[in-house]
Structure 1
Amino acid sequence: MRRLPLLSAVLIIALSFLAVPAGARADLPPQVPGVTLRTYDVQIELSKLCTLKPGQTPNVDKLMPTVDWTSDADFGLTDMFVTEVTGNLSAPAAGTYEFRLTSDDGSRLRIGDTVVIVNDGRHAPTPVDGTITLTAGHHPLRIDHFEHLYGQQLRLEWKPPGAQAFTLVPAEALSTDADVVRVTSPGRKECESGADSPGDGLPLQGVHPDHTLTDLRPAGFEPQVTAMAWLPDDRLAITTWGGSETRLGEVYLLSGVTGATSPARVTYKKIAEGLQEPMGLAYADGKLYVSEKSRLVELNDTNGDDVADDLRTVATWPFGGNFHEFAFGLLYRGGHFYLNLSVAIDYGGATTVPQPAPRPWRHRQDRQEDGETRLSRGRPAHPERHRVGGPGDDLFVLDNQGGWLPASKLVHVEKGRFFNHYTTPEGPFDAGVVSPPVLWLPHNEIANSPSTPLLMKHGRYAGQLLFGDVTYGGIQRAYLEKVNGAYQGAVFRFTQGLEAGGSTGSVSGLTAPSTPAVWARAATGGSRASSRTGCRN
């Protein structure tokens, strides 16, 4: 810190010669100059730094060139907020670096795994200094900060080796990940409290004690999985993302994924490539079908080697080139395909105005026989919805929170219903009465970005729905009942502790064959092929 007793200062100087310099990162993804600023509206008067509950979407998420902020416009909020600053610091040479963090109110600086400065508590703008020995190169940087009331400030300065005075850390010494989608959401965000516990105020931290978890990722195989489908012989087909601006999506067949298995017993074979963000996969009448951004594709193997050498277009739909115009949740039933088309959104999450393609319908039906594409059931919902055959063989969709939705929800799809998402130009149902959902999923409390629901057919949860979550993580369980002809129910935390997606256990989809087990996937960078949760009957 800035002022220390002489004995302590001498001790620190002596120990600094024994310290191991913080190592630089060698595996950075594409970068842009600056840092990422995320601001969370906690709406309570904090007296010290807090730990935010995991899985919450920030109110503000933006790229900033340097850390030197004093205004409401800089932070995006006025009072009672928490700030997270993340990025990478580029050390031009090895040596001892001094840093000065000035803040109103409390703040903390981490570089790599080292806490360099703690400047906590309520106070006016106050500088605190700290020192760290670095190797040359990039080092992860994080600043935590909170604002109580009446003015705010955050400024990061440094004194590199050989410098005589502190100066603002320049943009060229800072970087953050490029080409990220900066999603935000309004409303109050929460800090952890002493009364919170896993499953009661906080996400669960481990696997359900009644289940076993098997990681099925073969060594060296880390696909970014976007969809899964079972073949009659218990092979598992998966699609991979491939990027927003490219046609690098692939399809794999995995064997050895059921029964008493392990990663060493799982084998995989690529059977198709060159697909544009495939997000739906279904097996029907002896063939695999894939939904891309703008079409439904039939995979044909003409020489019996399990590799598709003919990709036949079955149906097409309008596509305006927006990164978010996905085709989700492919389902085959009775000679027809059902899927969901996302509306276009801007970076940050707002619905694009005007929509770049005439996609006013959200739920479509594709006839396998003649490729006819037409409106089938439902009315426009919000981006990122998924369809499943549910209890009573009905259709259900999980709809994500956004511009027209205060929280995510589970809806029962029937002809003539409208689920409260408006577009420009106007959709054909915008004047309709909004249909209530089956379940509301309180935002950031039990859901944030829920994924494809899965109907359980075995065990004590038979007839109930499970669903994962890309942001909140883990698996949740939806209990449904029908009252006076309408579905209603409740939602429960089910399990966490899944490897996919890191500490939150991000789960972008679930599937199950004819056994009491569930296969989970993640579509984030470094995602896993699948994890299997075995459920005891």
Structure 2
Amino acid sequence: MKIQKVLNIFSQALAGFALVLPYGSQAVEMPPEYYEVQEIPLPVGVAPEIGGLKFNSKGELIVLTRRSGILIAKPHQDPNQFQWRTFTDHSLHNPMGILVESDHQFLIPQMAELTRVVDTDRDGTADLFEAVTTDWGVSGNYHETNAGPIPDGEGNWFVAIGTASHNGPTFDYVRGEFSRTGRRGRNYSAVKDKGWVVKVTSDGSIIPWASGFRANNGIRMSPSGDLWVTDNQGDWRGTSPIYHVEKGH
């Protein structure tokens, strides 16, 4: 009973201290402009595992999902009134990014390839899945996700390729030369190009650009043409940095 009373007094003191420090006795005023968070319900049965969000030229929201393909929504002021349609219900392999090349054509990095998804007959549903490149290695490890693609302005694209996790297995059959080194208690590269930022050329070949990444969370090009990549905390990464990437680094 005494312990509970002491805890109550302590928590009340902390609450008062937190209020007094920033504002004293004055009431807190809301800023004149601020962002409001609204929940947008997805269609029934669609898990909220989102790998990419972009808008097309019509202002429609393109939603790249992990298990339910690609959805497109016509936004509404009321989040519950979004009008959803399915561009494709084919599950994509852990996609982590989307480039809108046109309202009918998207470029998406899957774990095993960079894929162009196209609605060739303009009926609102994708009917062509074109492998732009399959040149990087694949071990089957769940952690080998790829971020991008980012156009370089010359018809090529940058893709950031993640490493494998020691918490998950690799497959018996892999693509590329397999390595068993470096996997004790940390992320590792079991096949080629893992942990790299690469440039994918228009003919589907790969140019290694920069290495040493653990798990790229995103990749962007600045208006001035500088390439920036985020990396994820863990193992040898004490925090989640943002890197300015140049070839050979």
Q: Bin the TM-score by the shorter chain.
A: 0.7 to 0.9
> Per-residue deviation at 1:394?
1.6
The alpha carbon displacement at 1:391 in A equals: 5.5
Question: Runs ≥4 in structure 1, deviation > 4 angstroms?
Answer: 193-197, 219-222
1:254 aligns with 2:79: no
Residue of structure 2 equivalent to 1:403: 235
Deviation at 1:281, TM superposition (A): 0.7
Q: Which residue of 2 aligns with 1:301?
A: 119
Q: Is the alpha carbon distance of 1:383 and 1:208 closer, same or farther for their aligned partners in structure 2, counting shifts above 3 Å?
A: farther
Aligned counterpart, 1:413: 245
Counterpart of 1:371?
204
Distance 1:209 1:224, change over 3 A: farther
Return 5+ residue gaps in structure 1 as ranges.
Answer: 2-47, 49-117, 122-192, 201-206, 243-248, 418-537
1:42-61 to structure 2, matched below 5 A, reads none
Distance 1:323 1:219, change over 3 A: closer
Q: Give 2:58's aligned amino acid.
A: D
Amino acid at match of 2:101: A
**Paired letter, 1:280:** G
Equivalent pair of 2:115/2:133 in contact (CA under 8 Å):
yes
Percent of residue pairs bearing the same amino acid type: 22
User: How big is the shift at 1:313?
Assistant: 0.7
For the pair 1:232 / 2:57, whether they are aligned, the reply is yes
Deviation per CA, 1:387-437: give whole Å up to 9, x if none. Answer: 1123533221121222212222111111222xxxxxxxxxxxxxxxxxxxx
How many angstroms does 1:265 deviate by?
3.4
The answer as to 2:163 corresponding to 1:343 is yes
| CA distance 1:324–1:232, shift in 2 (3 Å) | same
Equivalent residue number for residue 531 of structure 1: none
Is 1:323 the counterpart of 2:157 in the alignment?
no
Matched residues in 1 for 2:31 and 2:112: separation?
A: 39
**Could you tell me how far apart the structure 1 residues matched to 2:43 and 2:122 are?**
27
The structure whose RCO (Cα within 8 Å, separation 6+) is larger is 1
SS at match of 1:385: strand
- 1:390–1:396 Cα contact (<8 Å) kept: yes
Find the aligned partners of 2:191 and 2:152 in 1 and give their Cα distance.
27
Structure 2: any 5+ residue segments left out of the alignment? Answer: 8-13, 23-29, 169-183
Number of the residue aligned with 1:472: none
| 2:210 is equivalent to residue 387 of structure 1 | no
Question: Cα distance, 1:350 vs. partner?
Answer: 3.9
> What are the Cα deviations for residues 493-514 of structure 1, in whole angstroms up to 9, with x where unaligned?
xxxxxxxxxxxxxxxxxxxxxx
Specify which of 193, 209, 212 is matched with residue 35 of structure 2.
Answer: 212
Structure 1 residue 232 displacement after superposition: 1.5
Structure 1 stretch 290-299 or stretch 356-365: which is displaced more? 356-365
TM-score by length of structure 2 reads: 0.72
Size of the alignment, in residue pairs? 210
Structure 1 CA distance for aligned equivalents of residues 242 and 160 of structure 2? 14
Deviation, structure 1 residue 378: 2.4
- C-alpha distance in 2, partners of 1:315/1:253? 25
SS in 2 for 1:274: coil
Amino acid at match of 2:166: D
Change (3 A) 1:285 1:380: farther
Tell me how large the CA RMSD over aligned residues is: 3.1
The correspondence of residues 45-84 of structure 1 with structure 2, limited to 5 A, is: none
Q: Distance in 2 between matches of 1:364 and 1:219?
A: 34
Using structure 1 for the length normalisation, give the TM-score: 0.35
CA contact under 8 A between 1:321 and 1:356: conserved in structure 2?
no
2:86 is the counterpart of 1:270: yes
Whole-angstrom distance in 2 between the partners of 1:397 and 1:208: 33
* Structure 1 residues 209 and 378: CA distance shift in structure 2, 3 A: farther
Greater helix fraction, Structure 1 or Structure 2: 2
**Residues 103-252 of structure 1 aligned to structure 2 (within 5 Å):** 210-213=33-36, 215=38, 217-218=40-41, 220-221=43-44, 222=46, 223-242=48-67, 249-252=68-71
Whether the 8 Å CA contact 1:216–1:266 is kept in 2: the answer is no
